[in-house]
Structure 1
Amino acid sequence: MDGCSEYISAAGAQSALQRNVRDRVKKEASDRRRSILYLIAAYLREQNFTASSECLEAEVQLSSDFEVCDNIDLDTILQEYQSYYYSKFNKHAKILRKCNVQTRVVHVPKETKKKSSPAAKPTQENPVPQFQFEVRKLLGKGDEVVKAYSDVTLTDNQLRPLIDFDGYSSEWREIAEIILKEVVPGTMGVAWKDCVGLGACIELLKEAVVYPLKRPELFTGLVTPWKGVLLYGPPGTGKTLLSKAVACESKTMFFNVTSSGFVHKYRGDSEKMLKVLFDVARLYAPSTIFVDELDALASCSSDFQHDASRRFKAELLIQLDGILRDEDKVFVLATTNRPWDLDSAVLRRFEKRILVDLPGKESRWKIFRYYFGGSGYKFNELELDAMSKRSADFSGSDIKNLCREACMGKLRQGLRRVENNEIKIENLEVNSPCLDDVLAALMKIRPVANARVQEKYLKWRDEFGCY
């Protein structure tokens, strides 16, 4: 009996030990699964997939009491596994393989969404997603359609996630995320027709951006499209307006370069960010890089110039030289009010240097008709002729201010009647401005530029212009 009891106690102890081992293994597996889920959620947040991260946290009920440690992430784990695999088997590990069942994503138009999913009614608990797409499994005999939804808003320029681009470090991706915030949307509502009196510049920009995308086979050999265009001229002549029209009319990614976003106080950060900008522009090609006020970033070399400014300009020259390669579908557009302050090395990178001059009499006539006609105010041709004759040396921006001042003059007359208690402000009606109002505004609004300033730009054009 004693031996039997000892055998039973030993068997019980061994069974209890096995149960403890199984429980510990299960707990470790459960902890690993939970850690993987936290890692995935943290990675999604890092890649700005906020909606997917919140959906995952809600589905698996991740607690906010825990977070991933600073010294570990999925990218590091994958790199260490690849290094371990190569050192052990002397070959690179294959992470992905092509599956037998092909899938493709088909975006459903807005009209189709409303008709194909009548049951999906918006409620507070189940809101309608912002777009719907279908994943079609190509099975040979028939396509099995699996509908899926996402909360991501689609734009005209579809951005591929930065994770799709291999060979870049996490630091590069962080800088690229900042640069992608500088992308100008093509929904500003500026068209070529809004650039009144700038027909020559519009044709040149179409040659450089629009036509090569529509008919690339025509632009081969010596007929390659322009890669760099510099617009210079007096302030207010429409240089920035042209750039907005390029962003809206061209089907390219439009990057806006500003000194505040690309000049940093830490050594080397400005050059690094500039290099990443051109890398991202190539990855998302066709793209356009717009540099407003180029003279602020790349002025003439000087012995008194700061070392950081010289290094930034040197990196800009290097990147501009590389961007001028024919195989890169990247276009650089720059503007400046002081072209004589630019280095000759910078000017060489811009194949076309176009003077956006003060509008002539005919152009001023069209600008007056554009602004007054767009607001519903009608003037006959004789009145427009009188306005255009008396507004010499006025730029497009000055004419816009002049039109606003003429309309404000009518509003002031009505406000004076309200202040004198002649009428109530609820009954105030503003009449359309007349020619006398425009002539009165001409006495108050003075042009920024004049013939002397214009002569300076014309002289520089005769020496360095390329039009």
Structure 2
Amino acid sequence: MASGSTLQKAIDLVTKATAEDKNGNFEEALQLYEHAVQYFLHAMKYEAPSERAKQSIREKCVSYLDRAEKLKKHLADPTGKSNKKNKPVADGSKSSDNKESDDEEDEQSKKLRGQLAGAIVMEKPNIHWDDVAGLLAAKEALKEAVILPIKFPHLFQGGKRTPWRGILLYGPPGTGKSFLAKAVATEANNSTFLSISSSDLVSKWLGESERLVKQMFEMAREKKPTIIFIDEVDSLCGSRSENESESARRIKTEFLVQMQGVGCDNDGILVLGATNIPWTLDSAIRRRFEKRIYIPLPEAGARNIMLHKSLGDTPTTLVEADFLKLAKNTDGYSGADISIAVRDAIMQPIRKVQHSTHFKKTRGPSPVDSNLIVDDLLSPCSPGDYGAIEMNWMDVPGEKLLEPPVTMDDMLNAFRRTRPTVNEDDLKQLTKFTSDFGQEG
């Protein structure tokens, strides 16, 4: 997404909201104001405006939220009659105190929702199930929990058939847990996706962290069907101990209460957690995740697919036998490790261009128009090659350079330089956790 596009979208939504507001179309105006605030907060979080711009956006968001709250009250009570909370009582001062308390609570609620609104994923990541290599059990569980209840809600009405409300994805780092979550965000049409990290919920102010947790679940219930994705869930919900702070204990308690949903309707809400160290999770939190799916290191078949996807349309001399050999020789590499190694390999042709002292004319597709075949392209070569011209890359016209293809040697050298990042001891602990509490992905 281009820089500033989210901010422009927010401005367009506010313009439409104020127009609808003036025309008396309060319901449409309310929805537009709320969407505009979400886009403004998304822009603040991901488009990195200046501090001055951020402050201006915050002030505007407060005013838009205030107007949205007034519209919401008007739509709920179009006659303008007071509700029970605001009815006068015998003691006038008590009524005033109640009103001030309610106003203060509303302001605090708006502030907390403003902090969380930036976690709502507005733009779909455009990652689909087919983009995820392997992990069939994980994909099936997520489809059961997210896609089927949205597409066929009648299958889950009445009786004992209910969709999963908590799924924990665990495994070594770089195996695709967050990638799976992005696929869920893309595939779950007409649903709200909240991407949460510890920084979104942990506050230095006393009592604010647990209120943020509560507001997060209340937002999810209002906007359901909703997926709450919590990356590195262990940082928020680790095992309780005597040495932990009172704040950390309260956050976990609030999570337990909200995930249990006592007195609340949690239908249509999925909590999706991801962690590399599931054994550190609090046992009560672990129980709330009904499905605990191990996302292991990729097998040879999945590694082969990853190699193809990582290379993409980069020119290469590799044939299928080379891919099979690389997939076989990369046992122990995670998906992230493979991606990094391939990125190193596809940089090798650029390094050849930089270090070459001779170039020769060759035939190939024009860098300007790939459908046009030309004869005067320049490609790096050895000084002794026939037709070699002594020159460096600075002398080559931009539109005349033909990049060398990635070779098998480039790939092998890259994998020799890139070692697996997964620890053998961690794998043993993950295997033990799976045998005790989880299932294979």
* TM-score, length of structure 1 as denominator length: 0.64
Among residues 415, 419, 431, which one is paired with 1:446 in the alignment? Answer: 419
| 1:281/1:326 CA distance change after superposition, 3 Å | closer
Number of the residue aligned with 2:172: 234
Aligned residue for 1:459, secondary structure, equals: helix
- Give a deviation string over 1:62-121, Cα, whole Å, max 9, x none: xxxxxxxxxx99959989972799559xxxxxxxxxxxxxxxxxxxxxxxxxxxxxxxxx
2:311–2:346 CA contact under 8 A, matched in 1: no
**Aligned mates of 1:357, 1:172 — CA distance in 2:** 41
Q: Is the 8 A contact 1:372 1:378 kept in 2?
A: no
1:369 CA drift (Å): 1.8
Distance 1:390 1:294 in 2: 33
Q: Distance in 2 between matches of 1:341 and 1:205?
A: 23
1:404 aligns to 2:343 (yes or no): yes
RMSD in angstroms over aligned alpha carbons? Answer: 3.3
1:229-268 equivalences in 2 (<5 Å): 229-251=167-189, 252-268=191-207
Displacement of 1:382 in angstroms is: 0.9
Tell me: CA distance 1:52–1:363, structure 2 relative to 1, closer, same or farther (3 Å).
Answer: closer
3-state SS of the aligned residue for 2:434? helix
- Structure 2 length normalisation: TM-score? 0.67
How far did 1:261 drift? 1.6
For residues 198-218 of structure 1, the C-alpha deviation after alignment (integer angstroms, 9 at most, x for no partner) is 222111111110011111222
Q: What is the DSSP-based 3-state SS (H/G/I as helix, E as strand, rest coil) of the residue aligned with 2:304?
A: helix
Instruction: Give the match's secondary structure for 2:261.
Output: helix
User: What is the CA–CA distance in structure 2 between the aligned matches of 1:390 and 1:52, rounded to whole Å?
Assistant: 58
Residues 377 and 209 (structure 1), Cα distance of their counterparts in 2 relative to 1, 3 Å cut:
farther
User: Matched residues in 2 for 1:276 and 1:342: separation?
Assistant: 23
Is contact 2:170–2:278 with CA below 8 Å preserved after alignment? yes
Q: Please say if residues 220 and 269 of structure 2, whose CA atoms lie closer than 8 Å, have aligned partners that are also in contact.
A: yes
For residue 369 of structure 1, what is the aligned residue in structure 2?
A: 308
Instruction: Say which is worse superposed, 332-341 or 444-453, in terms of deviation.
Output: 444-453
Which of 410, 435, 439 is the equivalent residue of 1:462? 435
Tell me, in whole angstroms, the C-alpha distance in 2 between the residues paired with 1:402 and 1:206. Answer: 31
Task: Please give the residue correspondences for 1:12-411 in structure 2 after superposition, counting only pairs within 5 Å.
Answer: 49=14, 52-53=17-18, 82=82, 87=88, 169-220=106-157, 221-251=159-189, 252-322=191-261, 328-375=267-314, 377=316, 379-411=318-350
- CA distance in structure 2 between the aligned counterparts of 1:431 and 1:444, rounded to whole angstroms: 21
How many Å separate the matches in 1 of 2:209 and 2:172?
Answer: 29
For 1:464, the aligned partner's letter is F
**Distance in 2 between residues matched to 1:305 and 1:242, nearest whole Å:** 32
CA contact (8 A) 1:262 1:274 kept: yes
* Preserved CA contact (<8 Å) 2:317 2:408: no
1:379 deviation in Å? 3.2
Deviation at residue 175 of structure 1 after TM alignment = 2.1
Secondary structure (helix, strand or coil) at the match of 2:134 reads coil
Q: Distance in 1 between matches of 2:263 and 2:409?
A: 53
* Contact residue 197 and residue 367 of structure 1 kept, 8 A: no
The DSSP-based 3-state class of the residue aligned with 1:254 is: strand
Closer/same/farther in 2, CA of residues 452 and 430 from structure 1, 3 Å limit? farther
Cα gap change, 1:281/1:323 in structure 2, threshold over 3 Å: closer, same or farther? farther
Q: Is the 8 Å Cα contact of residues 314 and 346 (structure 2) preserved in structure 1?
A: no
> Could you report, residue by residue, the CA deviation over 1:220-279 in whole angstroms, capped at 9, with x for unpaired residues?
433211110000000000000000111111021001111112111010111111101100
Ranges in structure 1 where 5+ consecutive residues have no aligned partner: 1-44, 58-71, 89-167
- Structure 2 Cα separation of the partners of residues 464 and 174 of structure 1: 39
**Distance in 2 between residues matched to 1:376 and 1:325, nearest whole Å:** 56
Q: 1 or 2 for the larger relative contact order (CA 8 Å, sep ≥6)?
A: 2
Are the equivalent residues in 2 in contact too, given 1:185–1:248 (CA < 8 A)?
A: no
Q: Distance in 2 between matches of 1:418 and 1:274?
A: 61
**Offset, 1:302:** 1.1
8 Å CA contact retained: 2:318, 2:406: no
How far the C-alpha of 1:417 sits from its partner, in A, is 1.6
**Displacement of 1:466:** 4.1
Q: Which runs of 5+ in 2 are unaligned?
A: 1-9, 23-65, 90-104, 359-389
Greater Cα radius of gyration, structure 1 or 2: 1
Q: Number of paired residues?
A: 329
Inter-CA distance 378–417: structure 2 relative to 1 (3 Å threshold): closer
**Amino acid paired to 1:249:** E
Distance 1:75 1:204, change over 3 A: closer
Deviation at 1:307, TM superposition (A): 0.8
Q: Deviations over 1:298-345 (max 9, x none)?
A: 111111101111111111111111189876110110000111110110
Give me the identity figure in percent.
34
